[in-house]
Structure 1
Amino acid sequence: MGWTTLPAEVFEIILTYLDLDTVKALRLTDRKLAEKCIGPRFLGSIQQPTFDVSPQNLRSLHALACNPAISKMVYSLTFLATSLDSSELEKNVESGKYIVRECHGPFFTATDVAYSPEELLNAKSELNWLKEQQELRSNESSSEMIELLQLALKGFGELDFIHLDGAVIMGRSQRGSAGHGKWHPLWMRASHVFSLVVTAIVKSGASVKKLDVYRNTPRCCISSGHITSYASGLSPKQLGILSKGLESLKLSMSAEIQNELEIVESDEDKLSEYDEASRRTFGYSTGHLSRDDPRAVLADETQGITSLLKSASALRELDLSFRQTLVDGSLDSYDRIIESIANETYFPRLEKCALSGFLAKGDSFLLFLRKHPDLRSLTLHECSLTAGSWTPIFSHLSQSMPKLENLNLGNLFGKHMPYPKFAPRRPNSNDEKQDEEHGEQEIDGML
């Protein structure tokens, strides 16, 4: 009697004596064994997929979705937008040495170490591999990747969570967080991956409850212009498919950036060691726009994020962050983002909202709060008013939102009433009435 004829209970007991790698190898030996191996032990070991977005990985995901037993165990997908950064390795190979960095509390040291012959050979091999990967990526077909992802999502049908994250690849086994190296190539890749995933969701009709778009990815956002350009290409029906069943949206967005993939870099060889260290710590400035650049001004139209949110009637959580990317400071035109959301959207089930880094008119914030009196949690961080005052907003929070349980405020700027104890006093005045009147005047600055 062969293994394939054993009762399922007996076969499963035998599998408990094998490690998972052996079980996987056993599945590859025979089609019937492959089916019998997918029992409680195997299914219980399945991890939720996390992978770089590439045609090869998407084919594997499609194969996973085609398996009726395994696909039922998948409820979460994490797609990584990766930037292939060979700049440091190229410099190291050319100079014949690499840098060893050590952190000592708030300080760090950088020491040049010469490659051994074997290390230099390995470094050249890693560099060649990176170049090959860059060439493969340049030949990727977006339509093929969308089709593969569409078929995979259609196979899964319903997902609890889709998460977009980012990383920097510096070699076969060398990876850095999104905060490492040049930010602009990663942001461009992140926007591309966003469009691939969202397009596939729309075309597949898959239902996604929670969508997290680079919200906790260090130094990685999608520019508001990219979101608007993408959303403008979707019909109302397609936008409805995207937001169908969406209960949570987390998204990091930014002011405008340069769109060109090919940006002339400054001569890095002229940078001092201190400048190089600062660049590694604070990032590269290439790709930013000046606030005087016409391309930096936010278009006077319905914002893309608003278009994506209009049909999200099931939304319970909204977490949006905004990063100022303009070289010479912010532009008031970006207050249209919150204005657009406040005027054109309504979420009857919204319980939790977090807004970070936004410019807004006071009336826009107030309108949004009036539309959502049942909020249980509200976070406002690094937000600035371009018009109006915080005073009526705080009054509304204290008097008209009885279900609010958690209020988190930090680094808010704009007109507001000073706390009486710390209100500025007029010099050379002992008139208490005059001091009281002055204390009632609003001041403009940080709360």
Structure 2
Amino acid sequence: MPLEHLPNEIIETILSHLALHDIRNFRLTSRASASTSSHHFKSFLRRKHVDVTESSLRSFLQATNPGHIGSFVTDVVLVGVVNNPKWLNRRIKDPTDGHKCDMPGVGPEGQARAQADLDLLMQRQRDYERMRATGTDVTLLAEAFTNLMVPNHDERPGLRSLTLEVVVYRLDAEQRLPPADGGSWTLIWQAAAATFHTAMRALAASQMPLQELDVYSHLSRCSLACTELSAVDIESNGLTASLASLRSLSISFSDRIVDMRKHHFDITGDSADDVDWGDPAQDEERSDDEIEAELLDTSNFTGLARFLHRCTALEDLELHVFKLITSGLDNLYVRRDAYLHSILAINTPFPYLRRLTLRGVRARGPDLLAFIKALPIRELRMVNVKLLVGTFAPIFDYCVSHEAALERLYLDDLFDPNPLAHVYFDGETGKPTRIDFKRPCSNLLERTGMDVRRAIPYFTPVGTRLTENPRARRMWKWRRRAEYGPP
């Protein structure tokens, strides 16, 4: 029996297990096969990664023209590109430098290749800066978004999701590195900010309807400085239209970037920074009053609140706070609780919100309780949340009450203040991190359905170690540092 004569259910099952190349071959066997497999074939075309480079943006625009294959795209991953020349510069200056001696090709051929890679990175950066200066990035992306709003068969116009990411070129001109392995955190934060603004301006220009927006929420060691949210033209009619259609928002934002020194010296946080640390000027620091004025600037906190105020149709909200740790900064007054306080102050209604995730948040207990109470959520996730004032007791009491009506609760690595202490849940065994307690306990609590209504007994041992296993302790600290800071 010819394959195309098989029942559709069997063909659908076969196609669901095939890779894109095999589906292409199946489509070539007959017109009937091409028609039968069209749904599975289009599913491979829905998600598109687009680098913020002129060549990539132009290719994306061309692909989205009516009748072209890009018209099937519903999910776009916009990728900011960091061309980091730090290590190549250092290697060329001193090929015997043991700073990265694990890299091959230290001889003349290796040096020539390193120089060629460096020249290419520098040319890419010049091309990028020229594109940004002329606004070409926004124009090309906005035109592509506009193309995607042309009705395509039974597809809804616009995008289902837009995800922002960052990649780094550092060791050579070909290898794409994630931010966690990309050296200079300053260059990564700059690329994250530039990519975010390109996306926001393109949305505003096209008035693209958008259902889901993910701003670096699941990238390690990459976040959007809080001041960048304040720089968005939130009053733009086009952007207001895009944000009004959002159903899901995940966003990672960090503290304001503060330079403690009077002179910059091209310090980017890269291990290959070429800095004369013996220069006395390195020790010249700005005054505490000047730095604190920047840290307490209201624009650090109100940008997030104003942004969320335009997203009133949200059903799913995830806020991830990345803590930037700068030498000497923790001795100053940093209002990390002001983000949540500003959201409460602007009184944004979220009538449709059903799922809330808070990661890395620092808050006052009364503010956190008031925020949760104001939302009609059915699922609450809190990870690495620290209270600066109050305790979790009233928050837990509300979460298990019938008034809250929660259907799912996930709590992991919570901290009570005075002094800062890890929260351990009595009777929970999902993720034990202590083995010296006389009773079963864990810093992870996960409940669903009617199980959410049970009381949450907990305790906060002070002055105890995170874990009895040194290797596990190092892994925990590394994971938390990559996700929540420092850079």
TM above 0.5, one fold? yes
1:129 is matched with 120
**Distance change (3 Å), C-alpha of 1:403 and 1:42:** closer
Given that residues 96 and 114 in structure 1 are in contact (C-alpha distance below 8 angstroms), is that contact kept between their aligned partners in structure 2?
no
Given that residues 354 and 379 in structure 1 are in contact (C-alpha distance below 8 angstroms), is that contact kept between their aligned partners in structure 2?
yes
- C-alpha separation in 2, matches of 1:221 and 1:251: 8
Counterpart AA for 1:216: H
Q: State the shift of 1:119 in Å.
A: 2.7
**Distance change (3 Å), C-alpha of 1:119 and 1:365:** same
Counterpart AA for 2:416: F
Q: State the shift of 1:57 in Å.
A: 1.6
2:88 is matched with 89
1:300 is matched with 298
- CA RMSD, aligned part only? 3.9
Given that residues 77 and 162 in structure 1 are in contact (C-alpha distance below 8 angstroms), is that contact kept between their aligned partners in structure 2?
yes
1:178 is matched with 179
1:386 to 379, 383, 388: 388
| 1:51 aligned counterpart, secondary structure | strand
Q: State the shift of 1:88 in Å.
A: 0.8
Q: State the identity as a percent.
A: 20
2:319 is matched with 320
Given that residues 65 and 71 in structure 2 are in contact (C-alpha distance below 8 angstroms), is that contact kept between their aligned partners in structure 1?
no
**Distance change (3 Å), C-alpha of 1:290 and 1:413:** farther
TM-score if structure 2 supplies the norm length?
0.67
2:351 is matched with 348
Q: C-alpha offsets along residues 209-265 of structure 1, whole Å, 9 cap, x if unaligned?
A: 1111111112111111121122xx3317445313122011111101110489x9414
Given that residues 290 and 296 in structure 1 are in contact (C-alpha distance below 8 angstroms), is that contact kept between their aligned partners in structure 2?
no
Comparing both structures, which one devotes a greater share of its residues to strand? 1
| 1:321 aligned counterpart, secondary structure | strand
1:156 to 141, 148, 154: 148
2:6 is matched with none
- C-alpha separation in 1, matches of 2:198 and 2:385: 31
- C-alpha separation in 2, matches of 1:397 and 1:268: 48
- C-alpha separation in 2, matches of 1:362 and 1:444: 19
Residues 102-113 of structure 1 aligned to structure 2 (within 5 Å): 111=102
1:13 is matched with none
Q: How many residues end up aligned between the 2 structures?
A: 371
Q: C-alpha offsets along residues 354-400 of structure 1, whole Å, 9 cap, x if unaligned?
A: 11222222222111111124x23212222222333322211111113
Q: Which runs of 5+ in 2 are unaligned?
A: 1-20, 26-33, 150-157, 278-285, 428-436, 438-457, 467-487
Given that residues 118 and 173 in structure 2 are in contact (C-alpha distance below 8 angstroms), is that contact kept between their aligned partners in structure 1?
no
Given that residues 45 and 70 in structure 2 are in contact (C-alpha distance below 8 angstroms), is that contact kept between their aligned partners in structure 1?
no
1:372 to 371, 375, 382: 375
Given that residues 98 and 113 in structure 1 are in contact (C-alpha distance below 8 angstroms), is that contact kept between their aligned partners in structure 2?
no
2:136 is matched with 144
Q: State the shift of 1:132 in Å.
A: 1.4
**Distance change (3 Å), C-alpha of 1:242 and 1:334:** farther
- C-alpha separation in 2, matches of 1:151 and 1:97: 49
Q: State the shift of 1:418 in Å.
A: 9.5
- C-alpha separation in 2, matches of 1:254 and 1:289: 23
Given that residues 380 and 406 in structure 2 are in contact (C-alpha distance below 8 angstroms), is that contact kept between their aligned partners in structure 1?
no
TM-score if structure 1 supplies the norm length?
0.72
- C-alpha separation in 2, matches of 1:120 and 1:176: 21
Given that residues 257 and 289 in structure 1 are in contact (C-alpha distance below 8 angstroms), is that contact kept between their aligned partners in structure 2?
no
**Distance change (3 Å), C-alpha of 1:291 and 1:152:** farther
Q: State the shift of 1:322 in Å.
A: 0.9
Q: State the shift of 1:45 in Å.
A: 5.3
- C-alpha separation in 1, matches of 2:375 and 2:208: 28
2:363 is matched with 360
Q: State the shift of 1:413 in Å.
A: 2.7
Q: State the shift of 1:207 in Å.
A: 0.9
Given that residues 399 and 406 in structure 2 are in contact (C-alpha distance below 8 angstroms), is that contact kept between their aligned partners in structure 1?
no
**Distance change (3 Å), C-alpha of 1:418 and 1:71:** closer
Residues 29-428 of structure 1 aligned to structure 2 (within 5 Å): 40=38, 46=45, 48-97=47-96, 111=102, 115-140=106-131, 141-157=133-149, 158-170=158-170, 171-179=172-180, 180-230=182-232, 233-235=233-235, 237-258=237-258, 263-265=264-266, 268=273, 293-300=291-298, 303-327=302-326, 328-329=329-330, 331-343=333-345, 344-373=347-376, 375-399=377-401, 400-414=403-417
**Distance change (3 Å), C-alpha of 1:48 and 1:256:** same
- C-alpha separation in 2, matches of 1:240 and 1:270: 45
- C-alpha separation in 2, matches of 1:118 and 1:303: 53
Counterpart AA for 1:406: L
2:479 is matched with none
**Distance change (3 Å), C-alpha of 1:368 and 1:84:** same
**Distance change (3 Å), C-alpha of 1:370 and 1:191:** same
